[in-house]
């Protein structure tokens, strides 16, 4: 390494100067401090002379250094001439070399990709061979276990083997194994000339022996592999219950009717942990909706059969009065005791097209009682409430666990089924209202007998309502006493409002007819008295017969309003007949 000549010169020059010159070389050299320090040791004149000498030495060293390196500076400028041309000449070879390197790199990359692909194929081939070896070993083990399970009729072993076959997608192997080791030997033994010669019944006996194969050798597999056994068990129980669906339950405190109890048991069983299979969640959901649809269809046909039966009864009666009297005498007793006996005598019903022989067995023979309809309404409301709870607590978690994300659509389907069920309830409420109205209307016609009680009888003025009012409201009162706690408030209020509105309208119509007839009779009597003479008209004292009739009707109307308000606790039914109170006020003014 070449040393700096100025530095060497300085060090040699400093040796001949004063001892303080060594302090010039530190990097943190300070002029003022240097002068102060030197002034303490040597005079200023000596310091000046030493510094002058040192300056001359530095100048000489610098000149010598410039002269020494000057030749190199000149040679450098000479050597740089023509360098641009040399660089230009190197550009083309370097570009070619770059392209060659890139092509080699591309070729190496393609080769690496090809090698990796070959390695991947090799690995797959090795895995296939390994899988084939494992499959062969597994199939060999499965064959032994499967045949052993068939011989010993071991249900658990057979179920495990069949699940394994299904998991590795080798169901056909199990079928071929059963065909070769079970079916083939049996058929070769039976379908043969030797068996035909030994059998006394000939081909008939051979055929019977062939048919014995299924119950003898396939019974165990059928119990395991039958896909519809669970469906038949659930659906069959529901179908059986719907045949006598209006029978009351005997051992279930949650439901009133057998049809609803069986339906709820089937719905619960679909999602029970011992029955539910996550892989078949769509089929269990479908079965749930099918049961609800089947029940709704049963309600629809139940109503149609009842209407047809009532139409036949109406057609068989000679007149409306006869029909009314028959209902009023028979159904009054059924309100108290007739409904409670429904569980003793089954009432067959159906709700969908059945085979002809089955339809003949479920023909309706007697009308639905009010108690059965009340139980139907009560169970329908309970079913809707329990369905919502079951979906949120049981069905919805299982659906999410199965990986179904769009559960809102499923909930809408359930709500549509519940709405379809609810739409049938007003029709059954109408049966109750028509039945009770028919029983009550039988007494309304007795208003026409009031004129005969006071016309030319000299009876005293009426002071209390007629006795027919108690009979008119007795069916309604019996209904409220027996079923007010069973029915839902909305159904109970709806039924009472409809019945009261109809009764008040009928009563208003009948009383209006009676009063119109009384008024006409009164006018006729006045004209007759006027012809005979005024002395006859002045002889009458007190209320006239027409006034007594009118007064009795007013008392009956007021009593009807009191009984209705007492029975319902609120006067809401009168809102359906707004002319009732206005009509009563005008009647009093007359």
Q: How confident is the model over 41-89, as pLDDT tens digits?
A: 888 888 888 888 888 988 998 888 888 877 777 777 777 777 788 888 8
Question: What is the Cα Rg of the chain in Å?
Answer: 57
User: Looking at residues 262-275, what average pLDDT do you find?
Assistant: 87
pLDDT value at 22 more than 90: no
pLDDT value at 253 more than 50: yes
Q: Supply the pLDDT for residue 351.
A: 38
Contact assessment for residue 328 and residue 444, using Cβ atoms and an 8 Å cutoff: no
Host H or E run for residue 226: none
Question: What is each CA distance from 405 to 280, 409, 500, in whole angstroms?
Answer: 16, 10, 51
Percent share of the chain, pLDDT over 70: 79
Kindly state the tokens that stand for 40. 């303490």
Residue with tokens 């309404």: 377
Contact assessment for residue 531 and residue 565, using Cβ atoms and an 8 Å cutoff: no
Contact assessment for residue 288 and residue 231, using Cβ atoms and an 8 Å cutoff: no
Q: Supply the pLDDT for residue 291.
A: 92
Contact assessment for residue 24 and residue 14, using Cβ atoms and an 8 Å cutoff: yes
Cα 186 from Cα 218, distance rounded (Å): 12
pLDDT value at 506 more than 90: no
Which distant-in-sequence residues (6+ apart) come within 8 Å of 275 by Cβ?
230, 269
Q: Supply the pLDDT for residue 2.
A: 42
pLDDT value at 150 more than 70: yes
Which distant-in-sequence residues (6+ apart) come within 8 Å of 112 by Cβ?
none
Cα 113 from Cα 93, distance rounded (Å): 30
Q: Supply the pLDDT for residue 24.
A: 56
User: Looking at residues 378-386, what average pLDDT do you find?
Assistant: 90
CB atoms within 10 A of CB 313: 13
Q: Supply the pLDDT for residue 583.
A: 54
pLDDT value at 574 more than 70: no
Q: DSSP characters for 536-583?
A: HHHT--S--HHHHHHHHHHHHHHHHHHHHHHHHSS-GGGGG-THHHHH
* Predicted TM-score of the model (pTM): 0.55
* Residue scoring higher pLDDT (3 or 182): 182
Question: What is each CA distance from 64 to 68, 178, 281, in whole angstroms?
Answer: 6, 114, 103
CA 253 remoteness from chain centre: 26
With 0-12 / 13-18 / 19 or more C-beta atoms within 10 angstroms meaning exposed / middle / buried, residue 29 is: exposed
Cα 104 from Cα 203, distance rounded (Å): 83
pLDDT value at 224 more than 80: no
User: Looking at residues 492-504, what average pLDDT do you find?
Assistant: 84
Q: Supply the pLDDT for residue 45.
A: 86
281-284, long-range: CB < 8 A, 24+ apart? 281/398, 281/399, 281/402, 281/404
pLDDT value at 446 more than 50: yes
- Say which range, 193-207, 258-272, 333-347, 387-401, has the weakest mean pLDDT: 333-347
Cα 294 from Cα 301, distance rounded (Å): 11
User: Looking at residues 443-457, what average pLDDT do you find?
Assistant: 79
Q: Supply the pLDDT for residue 117.
A: 93
* Residue scoring higher pLDDT (221 or 27): 221
User: Looking at residues 572-582, what average pLDDT do you find?
Assistant: 49
pLDDT value at 349 more than 60: no
pLDDT, tens digit, for every residue of 271-283? 888 778 787 888 8
């Amino acid at each position: 390494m070449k040393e700096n000549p100025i530095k060497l010169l300085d060090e040699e020059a400093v040796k001949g100067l004063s001892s303080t010159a060594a302090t010039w070389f530190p990097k943190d050299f300070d002029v003022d401090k240097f002068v102060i320090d030197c002034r303490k040791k040597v005079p200023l004149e000596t310091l000046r002379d030493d510094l002058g000498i040192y300056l001359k030495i530095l100048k000489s060293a610098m000149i010598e250094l410039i002269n020494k390196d000057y030749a190199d500076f000149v040679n450098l400028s000479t050597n740089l001439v023509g360098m641009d041309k040399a660089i230009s000449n190197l550009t083309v070879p370097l570009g070619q070399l770059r392209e060659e390197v890139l092509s080699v790199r591309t070729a190496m990359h393609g080769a690496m990709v090809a090698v990796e692909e070959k390695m991947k194929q090799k690995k797959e081939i090795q895995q296939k061979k390994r899988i084939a070896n494992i499959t062969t070993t597994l199939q060999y083990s499965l064959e032994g276990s499967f045949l052993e399970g068939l011989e010993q009729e071991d249900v658990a072993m057979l179920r495990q083997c069949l699940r394994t076959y299904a998991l590795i997608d080798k169901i056909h192997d199990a079928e071929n194994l059963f065909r070769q080791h079970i079916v083939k030997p049996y058929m070769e033994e039976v379908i043969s000339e030797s068996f035909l010669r030994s059998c006394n019944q000939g081909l008939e006996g051979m055929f019977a022996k062939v048919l014995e194969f299924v119950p003898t050798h396939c019974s165990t597999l059928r119990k395991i592999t039958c896909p519809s056994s669970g469906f038949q068990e659930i659906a069959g129980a529901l179908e059986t219950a719907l045949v006598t669906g209006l029978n009351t339950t005997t051992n279930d405190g949650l439901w009133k009717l057998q049809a609803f109890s069986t339906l709820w048991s089937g719905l619960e069983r679909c999602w029970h942990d011992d029955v539910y299979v996550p892989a078949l969640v769509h089929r269990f959901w479908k079965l749930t909706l099918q049961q609800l649809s089947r029940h709704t269809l049963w309600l629809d046909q139940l109503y149609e059969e009842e209407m047809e039966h009532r139409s036949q009864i109406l057609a068989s009666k000679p007149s409306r009065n006869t029909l009314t009297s028959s209902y009023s005498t028979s159904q009054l007793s059924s309100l108290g005791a007739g409904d409670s006996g429904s569980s003793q005598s089954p009432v067959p019903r159906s709700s969908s097209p059945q085979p002809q022989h089955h339809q003949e067995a479920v023909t309706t023979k007697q009308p639905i009682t009010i108690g059965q309809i009340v139980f139907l309404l009560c169970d329908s409301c309970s079913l809707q409430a329990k369905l919502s709870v079951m979906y949120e607590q049981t069905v919805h978690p299982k659906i999410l666990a199965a990986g179904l994300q769009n559960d809102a659509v499923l909930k809408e389907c359930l709500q549509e089924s519940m709405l379809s069920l609810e739409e049938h309830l007003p029709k059954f409420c109408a049966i109750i209202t028509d039945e009770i109205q028919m029983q009550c209307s039988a007494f309304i016609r007795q208003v026409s007998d009031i004129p005969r009680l006071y016309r030319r009888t000299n009876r005293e003025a009426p002071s209390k309502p007629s006795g027919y009012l108690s009979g008119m409201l007795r069916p309604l009162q019996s209904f409220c006493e027996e079923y007010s706690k069973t029915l839902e408030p909305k159904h109970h209020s709806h039924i009472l409002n409809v019945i009261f509105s109809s009764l008040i309208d009928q009563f208003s119509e009948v009383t209006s007819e009676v009063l119109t007839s009384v008024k006409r009779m009164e006018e006729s009597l006045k004209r007759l008295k006027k012809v005979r003479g005024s002395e006859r008209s002045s002889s009458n004292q007190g209320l006239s017969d027409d006034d007594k009739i009118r007064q009795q009707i007013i008392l009956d109307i007021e009593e009807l309003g009191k009984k209705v308000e007492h029975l319902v606790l609120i006067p809401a039914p009168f809102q359906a007949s707004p002319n009732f109170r206005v009509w009563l006020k005008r009647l009093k003014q007359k």
